[in-house]
């Protein structure tokens, strides 16, 4: 029962007639611009571009991607866009490769605006789902810290970690990873080069292979923007500029954050070991860290600092309006079940929020949406999550039995 959720297999795929989809699913003409004060660095001064509505967000694991998904959910609702959602689960049968037939209500030729649920990326399949003017975006994280987060969050679902002894299992694993690691073991992909895996590549590729550079350049050619968790606000400003959005579209509260007491403190030695162990991801991160700062320079360093400060200011305003106490709380202190985030197996390490009791009606709706955890928001958007909910029940049952 423990592995029920991950063992659930995707439906049998069958061949489908190819029907071309429109160049754009947007209600606006693609690349159209209106004469006005500009809100984007794209185009000529004095022009204002229209918001881009067709977006593919590759939701990588443990990279603040749930916070980004919340931004996309709100934007999609605001513009009444059509989401490509999975059916029965909150992901597209991850870790299987994405197939467009897994999309709820998919029919060849049907046009979708946004796709943003977890998947193992398969570019050709996604490309056939979205219009030609769709923007491709993803987010990366320093691989050492991503490894620490993944090791903690998914540890209960990775059988090969169960034999680790002692209180500091992460240090013990990094002492001699190959003593414990088997690439063919169930859920082993969570333990090495998870970014590379999510992007659809073999996470056990030899880091010295010329294929690695080829894959990275392929990613660079496919994605319009690769964001970085460590520079989240700067990333959002670049996203706003790329998609010609308004500041209100990228306001956020941090979702799925862990309690500080559950975060392993990486010494310099452990950091280096974790980086070497995830060398494919390290090469990937290094490459896109460089391209990221090139984009910041093109945007304007002073302009970026000003826009980040403005974003922080508006986020702080929303905190004072929406959040009881102005900060996240432990799971057992969350008063409303609709605000309870998904927790790792047998733990309650993920923080959540309490909505203020008195909120002006002008902000009541947006406050709730900004604070709603991903699973509940998907349900609100009409996604049938029966497999995910069954898995939640199984997890809760085992937690009670073990407790």
Give the pLDDT confidence score for residue 166 in this predicted structure: 83
Burial of 370 (0-12, 13-18, 19+ CB in 10 A): buried
Q: Identify which of 170, 136, 146 has the alpha carbon closest to the alpha carbon of residue 63.
A: 146
Per-residue model confidence as pLDDT tens digits over 78-104: 999 999 999 999 999 999 999 999 999
Cα–chain-centroid distance for residue 110? Answer: 25
> Residue 40: CA atoms inside 13 Å, Cβ hemisphere, count?
21
pTM score of the predicted model? 0.89
User: How far, in Å, CA of 270 to CA of 175, rounded?
Assistant: 9
User: Phi/psi of residue 325, each to 5°?
Assistant: 85, -15
Per-residue model confidence as pLDDT tens digits over 17-67: 556 666 666 554 444 333 333 345 554 445 678 999 999 999 999 999 999
Cα–chain-centroid distance for residue 236? Answer: 13
Q: Could you tell me the mean pLDDT of each successive run of 10 residues in the chain, 403 residues long?
A: 48 54 54 38 61 97 96 97 94 96 91 96 94 96 97 88 88 94 94 98 97 98 98 98 98 89 84 98 98 98 98 98 94 92 79 95 96 94 82 59 51
User: How far, in Å, CA of 347 to CA of 173, rounded?
Assistant: 21
Per-residue model confidence as pLDDT tens digits over 133-147: 999 999 999 999 999
Residue carrying the six token digits 């998907």: 378
Q: How far is CA 285 from CA 64, 182, 220, 379, in A?
A: 16, 24, 12, 33
């Amino acid at each position: 029962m423990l592995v029920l959720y991950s063992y659930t297999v995707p439906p049998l795929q069958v061949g489908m007639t190819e029907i071309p989809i429109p160049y754009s699913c947007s209600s606006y003409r693609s690349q159209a611009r209106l004469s006005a004060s500009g809100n984007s660095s794209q185009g000529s001064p004095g022009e204002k571009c229209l918001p881009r509505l067709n977006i593919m967000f590759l939701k990588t694991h443990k990279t603040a991607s749930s916070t980004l998904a919340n931004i996309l959910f709100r934007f999609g609702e605001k513009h009444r866009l059509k989401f490509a959602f999975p059916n029965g689960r909150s992901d597209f049968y991850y870790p299987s490769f994405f197939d467009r037939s897994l999309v709820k209500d998919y029919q060849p030729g049907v046009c979708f605006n946004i796709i943003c649920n977890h998947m193992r990326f398969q570019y050709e399949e996604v490309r056939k789902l979205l219009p030609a003017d769709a923007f491709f975006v993803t987010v990366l994280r320093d691989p050492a810290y991503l490894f620490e987060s993944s090791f903690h969050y998914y540890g209960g679902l990775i059988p090969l970690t169960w034999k680790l002894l002692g209180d500091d299992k992460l240090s013990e694993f990094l002492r001699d990873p190959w003593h414990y690691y088997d690439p063919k073991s169930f859920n082993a992909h969570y333990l090495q080069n998870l970014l590379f895996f999510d992007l659809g590549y073999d996470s056990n590729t030899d880091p010295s292979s010329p294929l690695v550079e080829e894959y990275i350049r392929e990613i660079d050619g496919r994605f319009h923007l690769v964001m970085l968790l460590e520079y989240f606000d700067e990333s959002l400003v670049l996203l706003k500029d790329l998609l010609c959005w308004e500041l209100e579209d990228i306001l956020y509260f941090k979702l799925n954050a862990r309690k500080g007491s559950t975060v392993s403190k990486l010494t310099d030695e452990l950091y280096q070991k974790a980086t070497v162990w995830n060398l494919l991801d390290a090469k990937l991160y290094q490459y896109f860290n460089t391209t990221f700062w090139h984009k910041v320079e093109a945007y304007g360093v002073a302009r970026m600092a000003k826009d980040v400060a403005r974003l922080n200011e508006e986020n702080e305003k929303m905190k004072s309006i929406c959040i009881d106490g102005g900060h996240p709380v432990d799971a057992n202190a969350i008063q409303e079940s609709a605000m309870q985030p998904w927790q790792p197996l047998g733990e309650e390490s993920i923080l959540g929020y309490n909505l203020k009791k008195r909120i002006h009606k002008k902000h009541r709706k947006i406050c709730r949406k900004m604070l709603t955890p991903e699973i509940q928001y998907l349900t609100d958007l009409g996604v049938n999550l029966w497999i995910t909910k069954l898995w939640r029940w199984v997890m809760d049952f085992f937690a009670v039995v073990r407790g």
